Amino acid sequence: MKVTRYDLELTRPSVVALGVFDGVHLGHQTIVRRVVERARELGAAASVVTFDPHPAAVVSSSGGPAVLATLSQRLEWFEQLGVDQVRLIDFTMDIARQSAEQFVDEILVAQLGALSVVVGDDAHFGRAREGNLETLRVLGASRGFEVESAGALGEGRRYSSSLVRELLGEGDVEGANHVLGRPFTLRGVVMHGDARGRQIGYPTANLDTQEHQALPQLGIYAGLTRVEGDWIPSAISVGTRPQFYDGARPLVESYVIDYRGDLYDTEVDVAFLSLLRPEARFSSLEALVEQMGRDVAAAREICATYGSRRPDLLG
């Protein structure tokens, strides 16, 4: 899979998926799968046009919504779905001011030679979100590309990145995982902490996640940590420790069960399977250690049920 932030030297025309695709949930997967299928039919390249950073992070003063996944995760999922090339659009204020028509002509037609464009039926693009499915159809008719919408997917509520954020915020990891089509997974580098866990017999990997990363509600979770390609059962804490850290940014720590190696400065993925309990304060160190023993046992059990499936693979 080819990835570029600049003009593509395209040998072939494209079938294009257009969107932010934060989290690459089941709705996104339907769109991208359709693009790959249509590209094979037409003898074209399966292309994704996506944005980095998230457009809302550029245009909104509040920094936009928290993001579900890193760019590298998004790209891995595109590759798994069979995408041939990804055109990343650096979402600067310049491109935010581009009209929908300019965007279509410069990126979709001139750079990608679009034969077909597939979007969600709620897609918006161009200045002030002026472009939508209908504008795209009108432009497609005069530029000679077909437009398909992959209608809404979901039970009761449509699958969306905001639904995933909402479910995570409620601690409903199972619900979020269902919409994502795989476990919610944080990617980050293990950094040095205060080694307090080590002192009480539970050394944890402290995860340095990307800025604006969406996190599940504070609490203790069962999950898996990927260490050098293997997914190892883990008890994960998403918590705040205001007495030691400034700011309200929660800390993600994973106790990788039965693992004795050194993870410092390596990149790991931490996948969430189920909420075990909310965050709590303990009257004594003994009570905390006892509870952690129960958490680890519960995490082992949940991971055993999950089996040998790999959280990084799309279903």
Partner 1 sequence: MTSGVLLIDKPSGLTSHDVVARVRTVLDTSRVGHAGTLDPLATGLLVIAVGSATRLLRFAQVETKRYLARVRFGEATDSLDADGRVVSSTDDVLRPLDLVRATAEGFLGASFQRPPMVSAIKVKGRRLHELAREGVEVERPERPIEVTRFEVRETPDPREWDLDIECSTGTYVRVLGADLAERLGTLGHLVALRRLRSGAHDVTEAVTLEFLEQCEDAPGQMRLAGDLLAGLESVVLDEIQTVAMRRGQRLRLEATSAGPLAAYDSAGELVGVLAAREELWQPDVVLVGVNA
Among 1, 26, 42, 133, binds partner 1 (CB under 8 A): 42
Pattern 82-121, partner 1, x by CB under 8 A: ----------------------------x--x-x------
Is the link from the previous residue into 53 a cis peptide, with omega within 30 of 0? yes
C-beta of residue 198 within 8 angstroms of C-beta of residue 214: no
Stretch that binds partner 1, among 70-78, 138-146, 211-219, 283-291 (CB under 8 A): 138-146
137 binds partner 1 (CB under 8 A): no
In the complex, what is the shortest distance from the CB of residue 185 to partner 1, in angstroms, rounded to a whole number? 32
Q: How far is the CB of 121 from partner 1 (least distance, A)?
A: 11
Strand 219-227 and strand 267-277: the pairing is antiparallel
Among candidates 57, 55, 54, 44, which has minimal Cα distance to 17? 44
Question: Which of 2, 4, 5, 41 touches partner 1 (CB under 8 A)?
Answer: 41
Q: Cα(121)–Cα(46) distance, rounded to whole angstroms?
A: 20
Strand order in the sheet with 146-150: 2-4, 85-90, 45-52, 14-18, 114-120, 146-150
Instruction: Produce one character per residue of 58-80: b if its CB has 16 or more CB atoms within 10 Å, e if not.
Output: beeeeeebbbbbbbebbbbbbee
The span of 64-72, 92-100, 137-145, 293-301 binding partner 1 (CB under 8 A) equals 137-145
* Per CB under 8 A, 307 contacts partner 1: no
Site residue total, partner 1 (CB under 8 A): 17
Residue closer to partner 1, measured from CB, 42 or 153: 42
Binding status of residue 143 toward partner 1 by CB under 8 A:
yes
Interface residue with partner 1 among 6, 9, 246, 261 (CB under 8 A) is 9
Using the rule CB under 8 A, give the single segment among 85-93, 99-107, 145-153, 291-299 that binds partner 1: 145-153
Q: Residue 131: which of 144, 110, 117 has the closest Cα? A: 117
Using rule CB under 8 A, residue 144 touches partner 1: yes
CA–CA gap between residue 114 and residue 107 (Å, rounded): 9
Q: What is the C-alpha separation between 223 and 305, in angstroms, rounded? A: 11
**Binding-site ranges for partner 1 (CB under 8 A):** 9-13, 41-43, 110, 113, 115, 143-146, 148-149
